Amino acid sequence: MNPKSFSFKLHSVDPSGARRGTMQTPHGKIETPIFMPVGTAAAMKALTVQQLKDTKTQIVLSNAYHLNNQPGADMVEKFGGLHKFMGWDGPMLTDSGGYQVFSLPGKVIDDDGVTFKYAKGGKSTRLSPEISIDIQNRLGADIIMAFDECVEFPATYEYTKRSLKVTSEWARRCKAAHKREDQALFGISQGGLYKDLREEGLKPLIDLDLPGYAVGGLSVGEGLDNMKMALDFTTHMMPVNKPRYLMGIGTPEDILEAVERGIDMMDCVMPTKYARSATLFTNVGKLRLTNREFRNDKFQLDTGCSCYTCENFTRAYLHHLYTSNEILGAILGSIHNVSFYIELMTRSRKAIEEKRFSSFKQDFLALYNRKVKSKKPKKKR
Amino acid sequence: MNPKSFSFKLHSVDPSGARRGTMQTPHGKIETPIFMPVGTAAAMKALTVQQLKDTKTQIVLSNAYHLNNQPGADMVEKFGGLHKFMGWDGPMLTDSGGYQVFSLPGKVIDDDGVTFKYAKGGKSTRLSPEISIDIQNRLGADIIMAFDECVEFPATYEYTKRSLKVTSEWARRCKAAHKREDQALFGISQGGLYKDLREEGLKPLIDLDLPGYAVGGLSVGEGLDNMKMALDFTTHMMPVNKPRYLMGIGTPEDILEAVERGIDMMDCVMPTKYARSATLFTNVGKLRLTNREFRNDKFQLDTGCSCYTCENFTRAYLHHLYTSNEILGAILGSIHNVSFYIELMTRSRKAIEEKRFSSFKQDFLALYNRKVKSKKPKKKR
């Protein structure tokens, strides 16, 4: 079932391979490439919807695995769906729970699905393609994901090959089970770091003619070079006129490398998670705000950033908040980190439009990595 | 030293004794009676300054004891004072640290001051009237408090009487040490629950002609009836044309009883502290949002409340946030609880202006306490 109200238009491709497009969803337009902040349990950690809107976030990600456990998909459905429940009226995407379930110890996999106990609360549960899609239909996000087997890293060629059959059969069943024309079901490519398996896995997914495709099974510990290698051969096999989503990525470096390889969408808990532990992203690299060097620092966190945090507070104040364990530290840090990621994508889109993405990436990374490099000599003294 | 830029005008007194006034400070006007949310460590717990402004908070309280420990009064001064450091440009009040120091175990009191170790970090420190005023001068709040001995409850008549001498001598020394004409130094009445000691203690403070006076030594476990009794005789002894501040109060009931007894200002950590543990104030009483009864509750938290939380989210969503330990629960709860307290004062001021404060108080409390009463029969079944 192809959704009525979902479309993707590819505007241009930069010489590097980076793509500039627009997605249309029932809850609004998304300019790509885009980073999607993660609000796992129908809540962005430490941010209100208003604050999230102020960061210019276009689309929010949530998770079927967590929401089915608490408060339950039925409950969310009764409240008019995820958008109404959490008060976010923009585009939304839910993950299928595949990644979460396959990360659990003690899961039992059969051809039909997976039986497992929830890490939180211990409730015994079953997920299958049909159940995951039913949950996601009830949650009502604009984009929903196929229930796949996310293969761990490292995995043997043989295991990865066998698992592809499960993933493609499950993708077929997901499409068959999907009931809502206002939701776009994306397929997920697996195949690990094996080029021929990525090709073998993508073929049946492409045959399903889904409205978008994700690259799964990366960001599982394989490292940046392996990720780049896998993307180098995988994105070329993906349909040109459909959005490409790299799941669970990542650092600012990861994101720029992925965009250069033709990825349109990414998500990660990193900006909010790091913000809660006082690590904040800036154009001159990551700063750990609890460090004593910031105690007297009168500068704004990130020169040139115009987020609420940077416009109103000094690094010294943020240092004070983090070292005093004030919740406000996590709030102001999350506002900045999410804004930083969103702004990175805004700048990326502009660079693609102006056909200068590679030089933008190089310039960004030169500045971003400078601080780390300049610190090394100090340690040797 | 009387401040140049501080004034208080009493507009009217309701038949009940409740007062309606306006305070002028260097950072703006304050309509009284007023509740002051507490941002102990130069930060409102779980709220940004922007969110605090949205609650219509007029004045914020901070604390010399905590700020002198971290980040240090010198640091705050270097950053242009507390207003600039924390980004709050409205009126502000700092407490002297007296209450905190006298609550510490292992403190050593002499005529000149108190030696103690900070509960956080264990730094050995000394506070005296001169040191506390110096700290508060550096912090730069619009209203600062005398350094007094806050007598514990219960305390004997003899101990309370002896301690009054310390408090009045220290008030004199505070006034002598105070160096900034743009800050109003308030005196603090002690004397426990003893009418003659309250009178004896107030006299030398009134002779100092300070711009405002606080009632200290209440909200230390004496209970509502004792507090009402003490206020009944204390406020009548206080200057009519100067603001009266009841320190550390309290519940909505406490606040209305205090206002009726001629109190103009109050502060308490209760709205933000309770919000972090899922207890939210509403016009029908306190609700504990983790309770299962709210799991499916489609109503807004408090009918008629127009705060961001009430306008946008259901009780079921708040229940979900609190039971999922999402920081957003504390944030949305704090927005509501502070808004609730601020709105209670707005309605109180209107009732005073219309000379109907007692009936307003009765109506409010009848509704506020109804829920608790209606629950009792259920328990008996």
Report the C-alpha gap between B342 and B347 in whole angstroms.
9
Give alpha helix (H) positions in B195-312: 195-207, 224-234, 252-260, 270-276, 308-312
How high does pLDDT run on average in chain B?
A: 95
Both tokens assigned to A226: 């392996």
Report the C-alpha gap between A149 and A164 in whole angstroms.
8
Chain A segment 297-356 residues within 8 A of B by beta carbon are 298, 308, 312-314, 316-317, 319-321, 323-324, 326-328, 330-332
- The annotation status of A95 as a binding-site residue, yes or no, is yes
Both tokens assigned to A187: 């397929």
Measured between beta carbons, the chain B residues lying within 8 angstroms of A86 are 317
> Is A109 touching B (CB cutoff 8 A)?
no
Cβ contact (<8 Å) for A317 and B45?
no
pLDDT given for residue B3 in this prediction = 72
Report the C-alpha gap between A190 and A48 in whole angstroms.
34
**For A7-268, which CATH superfamily applies?**
Queuine tRNA-ribosyltransferase-like (3.20.20.105)
Q: Which of A297, A328, A336, A338 has the most B C-beta neighbours within 10 Å, making it the best mutation to test the interface with B?
A: A328
Cβ contact (<8 Å) for B45 and A314?
no
Sign of CA dihedral A220, A225, A229, A235: positive
Both tokens assigned to B67: 């700020």
If one compares B366 and B4, the residue with the highest pLDDT of the two is B366
Residue of chain A nearest B72, judged by CA positions: A320
> Is A269 touching B (CB cutoff 8 A)?
no
Give alpha helix (H) positions in A208-290: 224-234, 252-260, 270-276
Cβ contact (<8 Å) for A79 and B298?
yes
Would you call A39 helix, strand, or coil by DSSP? Answer: coil
Sign of CA dihedral B55, B60, B61, B63: positive
One-character DSSP codes across A289-315 = TTSGGGTT--SBSSTT--SHHHHH-BH
List the catalytic residues of B. 95, 267
Q: Say yes or no: ipTM exceeds 0.90.
A: yes
Report the C-alpha gap between B102 and B100 in whole angstroms.
6
Rounded to the nearest angstrom, the gap between the alpha carbon of residue A359 and the centroid of all alpha carbons in its chain is 24
**φ/ψ bin of A263: left (φ > 0), alpha (ψ from -120 to 50), beta (otherwise):** beta
- The annotation status of A221 as a binding-site residue, yes or no, is no
Q: What is the pLDDT of residues B271-323, one digit of tens each?
A: 999 999 999 999 999 999 999 999 999 999 999 899 999 999 999 999 999 99
Whether the CB-CB separation of A7 and A23 falls below 8 Å is answered with yes
Cβ contact (<8 Å) for B308 and A70?
no
Characterize the bridge pairing of strands A19-25 and A28-32: antiparallel
- Smallest Cβ–Cβ distance between A45 and the set B313, B320, B326 belongs to B326
Which of A76, A41, A83, A35 lies closest to A57 in space, CA to CA? A35
Whether the CB-CB separation of A298 and A306 falls below 8 Å is answered with no
Torsions phi, psi of B274, nearest 5?
-65, -40
Roughly what angle, to the nearest 10 degrees, separates helices B327-353 and B315-323?
130
Q: What is the pLDDT of residues B50-97, one digit of tens each?
A: 999 999 999 999 999 999 999 999 999 999 999 999 999 999 999 999
Q: What is the pLDDT of residues A235-262, one digit of tens each?
A: 999 999 999 999 999 999 999 999 999 9
Cβ contact (<8 Å) for A320 and B70?
yes
Rounded to the nearest angstrom, the gap between the alpha carbon of residue A233 and the centroid of all alpha carbons in its chain is 21
Q: Which of B78, B120, B139, B331 has the most A C-beta neighbours within 10 Å, making it the best mutation to test the interface with A?
A: B331
Characterize the bridge pairing of strands B279-282 and B285-288: antiparallel
Alpha-carbon gap: B171 to the closest alpha carbon of chain A (Å): 31
Would you call A199 helix, strand, or coil by DSSP? Answer: helix
Cβ contact (<8 Å) for B43 and A321?
yes
Rounded to the nearest angstrom, the gap between the alpha carbon of residue A13 and the centroid of all alpha carbons in its chain is 22
Alpha-carbon gap: A27 to the closest alpha carbon of chain B (Å): 18
Domain ranges of chain B: 7-268, 275-368
Q: What is the pLDDT of residues B321-374, one digit of tens each?
A: 999 999 999 999 999 999 999 999 999 999 999 999 999 999 999 999 985 544
Residue of chain B nearest A298, judged by CA positions: B79
Which residue ranges of chain A lie beneath pLDDT 50? Answer: 373-381
Residue of chain A nearest B314, judged by CA positions: A85
Cβ contact (<8 Å) for B70 and A324?
yes
A191 burial level (CB within 10 Å; 0-12, 13-18, 19+): buried
Both tokens assigned to A212: 């978008």
A8 burial level (CB within 10 Å; 0-12, 13-18, 19+): buried
Q: What is the pLDDT of residues A281-332, one digit of tens each?
A: 999 999 999 999 999 999 999 998 999 999 999 999 999 999 999 999 999 9
Report the C-alpha gap between B309 and B337 in whole angstroms.
10
Both tokens assigned to A203: 């073929």
Which of A5, A135, A25 lies closest to A82 in space, CA to CA? A135
